[in-house]
Chain A
Amino acid sequence: MPSTFYNPPVNVESVSSVTATPSVQLGAVRMEAGDSYIYVYNTGSSTAGVGRGVIISACTGYSVTVSSVTNIGGFFGVVKHTAIPTGSYGWVLTRGFTPVVAGATAIVSGGGLEVGVDGAFVHGAGTNTSVIQGYCVTATAAGGTGYGYVRCFGA
């Protein structure tokens, strides 16, 4: 019987690994260098690129998609290391430091990070239809890639 954290299979695979077939059980969690990760399947129609958040898209199997809507809900995790194409499996960061892609507007250091369109991040609008999931620690222009600390729903 595996342990709660599925350590034996998880520790033989890099958190950068992306595969067409699952290498560990979906929903497996792990820590690596202070960051928390969860293993997911990209069931969306678009590749989840590095620095983009993903949202849960199905009630089973930890299926995710990058097709988020600005200021609605929140991210389940963030793609930190390697893009996860459609129909592929990989690790998303759920708590820790990660690159973050800005949406249609710039993000600034110290500002809160919330869900934007298609996996991008925006600052909070104070509308209460989305949650603040962390800080921007390195600013970037609109569409650029900055850096942030996040705690997503998957944590």
Chain B
Amino acid sequence: MSGGNFNNGAVMFESVSAVTATPTIQIGARTTINGEDYLYVYNGGADTATKDHGVIITAMTGYTISLQSTTGVVGFIGLVKHADIPAASYGWVMTRGFGQAMSPATVSLTTGEPHCAGASGVFSPFTGTQTAAVNGFIINGCVSGATADVYFSGF
């Protein structure tokens, strides 16, 4: 496959909402749409990576991701912004930009606070004592089990 450094030729023909069972472009391709950065990944996990959830890297090859994060540990590489990515499917995750983030079932998210990885792709408040990276901040908070507006910056 030939193309520029940014894979512009192939990337620009596909929406960042596209989810497919076979790859449409090279895994690891990146693109920028409306000021938001995206990364093309494969869901190697057992669960669907659902919209408004974060994903973590799970393998050394192929930009394979999973929803199976742990609260307060490491951090997300991307946020599923547009469409669910089922197990064994390919799609785009946002790596930097504005989006919505699902809060934990029993924890609310507060406006203006930083956020980090929660369990199974939800976003938790960053407490400052965790072994996790800050993945952005909360613009409009929410109650538990809901979605907050956030600015996200993944690995």
Binding between chains A and B: yes
Residues of A that sit less than 8 Å from B by CB:
5, 7, 11, 30-34, 95-97, 110-112, 123-126, 128, 131-135, 137-138, 147, 149-151
Contact partner of B5 (CB less than 8 A), chosen from A7, A96, A131, is: A7
Contacts of A133 in B (CB 8 A): 133, 155
Is B128 an interface residue, CB under 8 A from the partner? Answer: yes
Residues from chain A with a CB closer than 8 A to the CB of B102 are none
Does B73 belong to the interface (CB within 8 Å)?
A: yes
Q: B56 touches which one: A124, A135, A151 (CB < 8 A)? A: A135
Which B residues are within 8 Å of any A CB, using their own CB? 5-6, 26-30, 56-61, 63, 73-75, 77, 128-133, 154-155
B129 CB contacts on chain A under 8 angstroms? 126, 128
Say how far B42's CB is from chain A's closest CB, in angstroms: 13
- A137→B59 CA distance, assembly (Å): 6
User: Do A126 and B77 touch across chains, with their CB atoms under 8 A apart?
Assistant: no
Residues of chain B lying within 8 A (CB to CB) of residue A131? 133
* Measured CA separation A149–B155 after assembly (Å): 8
Report A-chain residues with C-beta under 8 Å of the C-beta of B128. 128
A147 to B77, CA, bound (A): 16
Which 8 residue pairs are nearest across A and B when measured between Cβ atoms? A34-B28, A124-B131, A112-B74, A132-B133, A137-B60, A151-B155, A31-B5, A126-B131
